[in-house]
Amino acid sequence: MRLQHLAMATDLGWVALSAILAVLIRDNFIPLQHHLNAVAVYTAIAVASSAIVFSIAGLHKRLWQYTSLHDVSRIIVSVTIALFLAVFISFVGSRLEGVARSVPLIQWFILVTAMIGTRAALRMWEERRRHNNSPHPRASVEHVLIVGISHLTELFAQSVAQYASNRIDIVGILSEERQLRGRVLRFHKVLGAPEELPRVLAQLEVHGIALDRIVVMQPFDELSVPARDALLQVEKSSGVKVEWISELLGLTIGRDSDSAPTEISPRVASQRPISDTVSQGISSSYRPLKRAFDILGAVLLSVALLPLIVVVAVLVAIDVGFPVVFWQKRPGQFGHPFKLFKFCTMHPAHDGAGARIADEKRSSVVGRLLRRTRLDEIPQLYNVLIGEMSFIGPRPLLSPDQPTERSARLLVRPGLTGMAQVYGARDISPEDKNALDIWYVQHASLMVDVKILIRTPLVMLFGERVNRRVVCAARRGIERLMAKPTASGSLQVGAEQATADGEAARA
């Protein structure tokens, strides 16, 4: 009941505030006194009429964190009726004297935007809270492609969202109906036709998505011959599983009852021999401070670098074309997948005939310059701002490139820069990079982050240079982590371990 009262008070507060903002906008933010006096009466009437209409519509009874399109339409209708009623009463009582005729219209736009925006923000916050409410690293996400559009497709997508959103990622849909290309079903885009499966798989690979399973929503005999051939060829020549929904539901006559259900692909499944001994990421006392610095830094840099962002975007558009921003799926904190954004620095992966182009031929002078100066990473300020990344942390890797022991480095948010970037180089071994990242997970602090921030622009200006002393110290730390875990999983830090940690810290 208290939450309902709070919801109603919030909505009515927006009604009053929107009326005042409408007058300010109408008067170019220099309101006349008699306008303010007149709008005070109109605002009171608007709040009263809104309280009645909103109560009848039950807007305060709905859970904002589950706002849907139906709720949005209900809000629009309710606001329209409430303001129409307020205008009618005000006109009958005082002919709207002192209130410009455009004020209710401006108020309508402000009020609808505010009420829907408040609910959308709460829903996004709730979804992110549930998404991040995982205490330990989890197994890798299974990437699934759907073939065919029907009521079963919508039901399958809804079931995944309800019961397995953290384990299954629907990467897209294929449909033989050409007119559906580019359309969206429950946030999942139609990528093409089933016979275009090789092209779709290649495009997903460019985005860093390794497909695990294809679920076909149509009976085999209802598919076109090219679609059947494409599916059978992928099943035969790759590790991608092809399954029919009728088989998954047990509706196929003569189905082998002994066949085991499909399990999540273990391609990058987590292992925990080291992560069991590593402390659970950044300390609770430093975590909120680090997040505050991330938000403040992302906002300030986004504003300060806006001219540079525009220049880089124009250069990319001239050199590579549109879109100027490219994304890849990467595992984030606790293995949660997220879209990592970069400026495009390479030409398309395939030519006009669909043939794959070698990576060395796709790069350009502008692209190499952007990668060399790290300017292609600027769009990741958005990832930092929304909490998917941090300024300092292990760099997010593609799932196939994750080290065998991936759990430890995923205990913290991935970063724009980190130990491996300032003390290592692109060409050091994956084991050395992993050792540096795990060292950071163990010893993350304000002082360590400051040192990394200071060294990052030096690396950008003068190039990468491997600090062998720090790398060796981090590797020795990994060896002792593997050799000396206690029964409870905590690390026994001996004199040699302390010496190794001290060497890395002093650097």
Counting Cβ atoms within 10 Å, is residue 481 exposed (0-12), middle (13-18) or buried (19+)?
A: buried
The pLDDT of residue 486 is 44
Contact 480, 499 (CB under 8 A): no
Q: Summarize pLDDT for 91-122 with one digit per residue, the tens.
A: 888 777 778 888 899 999 999 999 999 988 88
Contact 231, 193 (CB under 8 A): no
Average of per-residue pLDDT across 451-458: 90
Using alpha carbons, list the distances in angstroms from residue 406 to 29, 139, 336. Answer: 55, 10, 13
228 pLDDT above the threshold of 60: yes
Q: What is the mean pLDDT of the chain?
A: 81
For the CA atoms of the chain, what is the radius of gyration?
A: 28
- Domains in the chain (CATH in brackets) are 2-132 (no CATH), 142-248 (3.40.50.720), 275-506 (no CATH)
Contact 150, 217 (CB under 8 A): yes
The pLDDT of residue 62 is 80
The pLDDT of residue 52 is 92
Counting Cβ atoms within 10 Å, is residue 411 exposed (0-12), middle (13-18) or buried (19+)?
A: buried
Long-range contacts of 12-18 (CB under 8 A, 24+ apart): 12/47, 12/50, 12/51, 12/54, 14/111, 14/114, 14/115, 14/118, 15/43, 15/46, 15/47, 15/50, 15/82, 15/111, 16/43, 16/46, 16/47, 17/114, 18/107, 18/110, 18/111, 18/114
* Dist. CA 20–CA 40, nearest whole Å: 8
The pLDDT of residue 498 is 45
The count of other CB atoms within 10 Å of the CB of residue 386 is 12
* Dist. CA 294–CA 443, nearest whole Å: 18
Note if the pTM is more than 0.85: no
Candidate ranges 186-190, 259-263, 412-416; pick with highest mean pLDDT: 412-416
* Dist. CA 345–CA 313, nearest whole Å: 11
Give 433 or 274, the one with higher predicted confidence: 433
- pLDDT-derived band at 206 (thresholds 50, 70, 90) equals confident
The count of other CB atoms within 10 Å of the CB of residue 21 is 18
Using alpha carbons, list the distances in angstroms from residue 427 to 85, 394, 418, 464, 466. Answer: 69, 16, 15, 10, 9
Contact 385, 379 (CB under 8 A): no
Q: Summarize pLDDT for 385-408 with one digit per residue, the tens.
A: 999 999 999 999 887 777 766 567
Q: At 496, is the secondary structure helix, strand, or coil? A: helix
Give 346 or 162, the one with higher predicted confidence: 346
Q: Summarize pLDDT for 43-98 with one digit per residue, the tens.
A: 999 999 999 999 988 888 887 877 777 788 889 999 999 999 999 998 888 777 77
Contact 188, 168 (CB under 8 A): no
Long-range contacts of 453-460 (CB under 8 A, 24+ apart): 453/391, 453/392, 453/417, 455/422, 455/423, 456/417, 456/421, 456/422, 458/422, 459/421, 459/422, 460/373, 460/374
The pLDDT of residue 275 is 52
Element (H, E) at 360: helix 359-362
- pLDDT-derived band at 482 (thresholds 50, 70, 90) equals low
* Dist. CA 201–CA 187, nearest whole Å: 19
